[in-house]
Structure 1
Amino acid sequence: MPPVYRLALPALCLSLILPCAFSVEAADPVPATTETPAEEKPVERQPLLERSQEEASALERQIPAQEQQQLQAGSDTFLALWKPANAAEPKGAVIIIPGAGETVDWPQAIGPLRRKLPDAEWSSLSITLPDLQSDAIAPRIVEIAPTPKAADTGSKNSTTAAPIEQAAGGEAEVADKAIAETTEEQAKADAERIFARIDAAIAYAEQQSARRIVVLGHGTGAYWAARYLSEKQPSQVEKFVMVAAQMPVKAKPELAELTTTLKLPTADIFYMDKPLDRNLALERLQASKRLKTSGFSQVSLKALPGNSKAEQEQLFRRVRGWLNPQNAVN
């Protein structure tokens, strides 16, 4: 055999063997040694606390623990501040209801009154009100467009389309109705939550052997207290005090209408400096005068800008004088 062929023969054999080896490796792949990690579950977010809950949590770190009470109203647990009367025989308990945006120790009216009333032989219990859901932004109502009907070719007006304004108006009416129903349901739920908390406060005062119970509301808290007393008419409550009463947004009925339905002595303390407040107070007074019998009375105060301490002392003296008329100090 010529030398050239002897050299080419091994190379030819090698070229025929290598493809077979590669095909065997490809047919028998090495199993993967790493396992696919299990899918991670999405982290569940905790529901956001209401603003009133956040503020109550902050107050719990500042106020003495012996004053704090956690009351239960349905599924709600809320902060209340209790201060017993500084007397061997307390006259009773005053339940203080703050207004919108106020806490159980608000520096205007709420805090000063709850701390000073025990020196007037009245225990005090200020409570936390929940955030109003009816004040939140109304949800957007998404309507599914109805399936268009096939045009009736035999009709005289088959080629006439409905006016755009009419179609848009119909959709708007449906959306407005849905929003109104949602708002009404939220307002009803708000009232039920607030009433449940006032119920819990009255029950706690009774547990503390309060001989008499007075409800005092400040700002919008006065409205909710008046509405509670009008609708519930609890026999345990003997008197009612409104301080700088305000109407919540979209609330019904009007405060002047509510005060005429109250069956207990009511003091309406207002500040004469603001024309709107003065006019609303006059409206409440005139409504009470139309009744044959009424325990409604008004006390006007003058704001003292720049002297908060004197202003709060003035308010306390008026409240104390109405609660304890024999000890009234002018």
Structure 2
Amino acid sequence: MEYPMSYPFRAMLPAVFLSLMLPCALPATAADPTPAKDAAEAPVERAPLLSRAQEDELALERQLPREDQQQLKAGDESFLALWKPANSEAPQGAVIIVPGDDESPDWPDAVGPLRRKFPDVGWSSLSITLPDAQDTTLTAREPDTAAADANAEKPKETPKDTAEKTPDPAAEAEAQAAAATAKAAADEERNKAQAERIFARIESAISFAQQNKAHSIVLVGHSSGAYWAARFLNERTSPVVQKLVMIAAREPVNPAPTLLEMVPSLKIKTADFVYKNPVDLAA
């Protein structure tokens, strides 16, 4: 499915191309209609809900030509990538497009239009799918529920008991500091785990491009995909990647390190494109 491009993005396409030319789920099974005492007492097994990325993949698999679709492996995970070979007998290389969080590999802003246009200027394109960001809301609710249950079971305290159990401000402050430290450590581990999953997918995409005889590779990141592409190049050595192009770069929540910390130290040529104003993103 092709999406119409906004005027601001159409105006940006020549600059993006010019930068590359610079030196280099199954349904639940129906229940047995025959009543059974044991079956009635058995818990109902529900199929796990699909993630946002999995839902997008299924939709794209129905909408796009099969020759565009590639199932790549990254560790124990498989993910959808969209491949278009260059329309040239002497291709210049391959462009690997990293979409932003919550964006599909055929996203109508930048990602989809670019992956279709690059082959016409001599570059193969490979647009990948990012894993969903880990949601912490469920784990955050569990302690609250347990605390509520514990409080419900406690007998009512008399005024005397309440007076005797007045909390110590110093102890409370220490507990809050410990909780904040534990949360920061958990967030850091979660961030590292997400980065490793994304890096594995970018490495898989690079390997696929090399298998298809791409001797020069450019990473193009859109939105937060620009952050992940820059971070990949900051933390991993990949001599075959010769350039980074960032479009409307954004950082995920609580980035560590930030783009300002990473980009100046990159060893490859970097181009950074921004929309004229935020409204253009939605145009």
Q: TM-score range by the shorter chain?
A: 0.7 to 0.9
Cα shift at 1:89? 1.0
The aligned amino acid for 1:48 is L
Partner secondary structure for residue 274 of structure 2: strand
Cα shift at 1:58? 0.8
State the partner residue of 2:185: 181
Cα shift at 1:46? 2.8
Cα shift at 1:160? 8.0
1:123 and 2:117 are equivalent in the alignment: no
| TM alignment of 1:93-172, pairs within 5 A | 93-133=94-134, 139-140=140-141, 142=143, 163-172=167-176
Bigger RCO (CA 8 Å, 6+ sep): 2
Cα shift at 1:233? 2.4
State the partner residue of 2:254: 250
State the partner residue of 1:199: 203
State the partner residue of 1:273: 277
State the partner residue of 1:88: 89
Partner secondary structure for residue 131 of structure 2: coil
Cα shift at 1:162? 6.4
State the partner residue of 1:152: none
- Structure 1's unaligned 5+ residue stretches are 1-35, 146-158, 275-301, 307-330
Separation (CA, whole Å) in 1 of partners of 2:81 and 2:101: 16
CA RMSD of aligned residues (A): 2.6
Partner secondary structure for residue 217 of structure 1: strand
Cα shift at 1:164? 3.9
Separation (CA, whole Å) in 2 of partners of 1:218 and 1:260: 19
Partner secondary structure for residue 195 of structure 1: helix
Separation (CA, whole Å) in 2 of partners of 1:72 and 1:246: 27
Question: Is the contact made by 1:141 and 1:175 (CA closer than 8 Å) also made in structure 2?
Answer: no
Residue 208 of structure 1, aligned match among 197, 206, 212 = 212
Q: 1:136 to 1:64 in 2, by over 3 A?
A: farther
Q: 1:234 to 1:134 in 2, by over 3 A?
A: farther
Cα shift at 1:196? 0.5
Cα shift at 1:141? 6.8
The aligned amino acid for 1:44 is E
Cα offsets for 1:130-183 (capped at 9, x unmatched): 1111675662474999xxxxxxxxxxxxx9866443343333333323322222
Separation (CA, whole Å) in 1 of partners of 2:247 and 2:46: 40
Residue 224 of structure 1, aligned match among 228, 236, 245 = 228
Q: 1:305 to 1:182 in 2, by over 3 A?
A: closer
Separation (CA, whole Å) in 1 of partners of 2:76 and 2:130: 14
State the partner residue of 1:59: 60
- Structure 2's unaligned 5+ residue stretches are 1-35, 151-162
Q: 1:234 to 1:136 in 2, by over 3 A?
A: farther
The aligned amino acid for 2:46 is R
State the partner residue of 1:79: 80
Separation (CA, whole Å) in 1 of partners of 2:119 and 2:136: 35
Separation (CA, whole Å) in 2 of partners of 1:236 and 1:82: 18
Separation (CA, whole Å) in 2 of partners of 1:160 and 1:105: 63
Partner secondary structure for residue 123 of structure 1: strand
Cα shift at 1:251? 1.1
Separation (CA, whole Å) in 1 of partners of 2:169 and 2:134: 33
Counting matched residue pairs gives 231
Percentage of matched positions with identical amino acids = 52
Cα shift at 1:270? 1.2
State the partner residue of 1:190: 194
Separation (CA, whole Å) in 2 of partners of 1:131 and 1:51: 7
Cα offsets for 1:265-318 (capped at 9, x unmatched): 1111112325xxxxxxxxxxxxxxxxxxxxxxxxxxx94985xxxxxxxxxxxx
Separation (CA, whole Å) in 1 of partners of 2:273 and 2:220: 11
